[in-house]
Structure 1
Amino acid sequence: MKIHKEGRRILFFTLLALLAVNLLLFRVNARNLLFNQIFAGASVIAFLLLLQFFRSPARRLFTHEDLLVAPADGKVVVIEDVHEPEYFDDMRKQISIFMSPINVHITRNPISGIVRYFKYHPGNYLVAWHPKSSTKNERTTVVVESEAGPLVLFRQIAGAMARRIVWYVNEGDEVSQGEEFGFIKFGSRVDIFVPVDTEVKVQIGEKVKGGQTVIAQLKTEAPSLF
């Protein structure tokens, strides 16, 4: 199993700390063997749980210029038309994917194109399903001008557990569909905003895989014959 680069330092120091505490317990509390064994078992379980947070499975990525793929593993929790105030200041269709602690936490570009806007917002840490988490929590906003034409906005949003957002894109970058654009440590949520006439291919409650599951199809203008 491949470990994502964002987790290597955390895993290394966590392993050292757990080993040190367990060795200390077996030295100073040698008579209480049962307690030491239980603590050692709990340490192994805790480390394995942390290890799976940072796994980076191999993916066969799906690419198509007018199709949006899921930007993260998780469950679709929102599909609705909303007013998007930060960049478009008009009505957009919002698709939100909730990432639980057991999901892969890599975030991927839902479509290929050029990054026309990027902004990091410090903020709160409301639970990810809170209605105001999209505008009140720590988050990043990325707008990509897609090869199909329409602009697509997507956000990494921190939650109650996710206190660290990492991103790998900047304005002007050319991005490829399915490739990593960031990482949210310990899960949370990703919102995607597309034109209201976009055809959504998923349903509320559906589980999706980042870089593989098609979540929507953009409307493209037919080329002129003259």
Structure 2
Amino acid sequence: MLAKGSEPWLFTAVSITALFAVLSRAMNSSRLNCIAYVAMALTFFMVLFFRDPERKVEVSDTYMISPADGTVIDIRGRKICIFMFLQNVHVNRAPISGKIKQITYKKGGYLPAYWKDSERNERNEFIIHSKYGDVSVTQIAGTIARRIVSYSQVNDIIEQGQRIGMIRFGSRVDVTIPHDFEIIVRKGERVLAGKTIIAIIKNDRDF
């Protein structure tokens, strides 16, 4: 399955590949043939990057799950920062069930998303109102990324693990954890969106 919002990129890559394949055959040009192979490799990369595998999500009020695939690069107080490398799935999911209270998009720069100065980068913040209070999920564009895609709207009722958006290419997702939960992931740990438990209810360790 391919990610929603990836169609223009894939169409462009396939069109360029087809064009150079036809030209290289018609003109019998080794140079055009090489370009066609490069375009084919690019198309393969696009398909790999924009993959969106189905995942069985075990919905529960007793824990929060990762909103993104990637590596935990920092934990700042109640905020977990997850960096998505190019090989990671870039579709983001709701870490907890609730109602989308607010979505705030801000234009900005494109510093590497793992830098602290990336607070100035292009970003899209979801405020999810859950039974435990508001949870912020912030999509932050990186050096290559130039487009944040939102799948949800204000007032949408979303279920834990539901797809809420995507960031094209390398990027970061930050999520705030309510005080009712204890953070159980550690810096450097790899996580999967909709699968990895990142926090559990403080009084419910034996879920």
Deviations 1:52-110 (A, max 9, x none): 111111111121113110001111111122xxxxxxxxxxx110111111111101000
Deviations 1:192-217 (A, max 9, x none): 11245631121111111100110112
Matches for 1:14-33 after TM superposition, within 5 Å: 14-28=13-27, 30=28, 32-33=29-30
Superposition RMSD in Å: 1.9
- CA distance in 1 between counterparts of 2:126 and 2:92 reads 12
- Give the corresponding residue for 2:129: 145
Q: Could you say what secondary structure the match of 1:5 adopts?
A: coil
Deviations 1:94-132 (A, max 9, x none): 101111111111010000011222211111111111102
- Give the corresponding residue for 1:87: none
**Alignment partner of 1:177 is 2:176:** no
- CA distance in 1 between counterparts of 2:2 and 2:101 reads 31
- CA distance in 2 between counterparts of 1:7 and 1:171 reads 23
Q: 1:104 is matched by which residue type in structure 2? A: V
- Give the corresponding residue for 1:224: none
Q: Percent identity?
A: 35
Q: Could you say what secondary structure the match of 2:83 adopts?
A: strand
The count of aligned residue pairs is 204
Following superposition, the deviation at residue 219 of structure 1 comes to 4.5
- CA distance in 1 between counterparts of 2:8 and 2:163 reads 19
- CA distance in 2 between counterparts of 1:3 and 1:207 reads 22
- CA distance in 2 between counterparts of 1:143 and 1:110 reads 11
Q: Given that residues 65 and 146 in structure 1 are in contact (C-alpha distance below 8 angstroms), is that contact kept between their aligned partners in structure 2?
A: no
- Give the corresponding residue for 2:55: 59
- CA distance in 2 between counterparts of 1:36 and 1:145 reads 54
Q: 1:116 is matched by which residue type in structure 2? A: K
Following superposition, the deviation at residue 137 of structure 1 comes to 0.8
- Give the corresponding residue for 1:186: 169
- Give the corresponding residue for 1:94: 79
Q: Could you say what secondary structure the match of 2:105 adopts?
A: strand
Any stretches of 5+ residues in structure 1 without a counterpart? 82-92, 221-226
Q: Could you say what secondary structure the match of 1:24 adopts?
A: helix
- Give the corresponding residue for 2:88: 103
Q: Given that residues 73 and 99 in structure 1 are in contact (C-alpha distance below 8 angstroms), is that contact kept between their aligned partners in structure 2?
A: yes
Q: Could you say what secondary structure the match of 1:166 adopts?
A: strand
- CA distance in 2 between counterparts of 1:113 and 1:74 reads 24
**Alignment partner of 1:80 is 2:54:** no
**Alignment partner of 1:41 is 2:34:** no
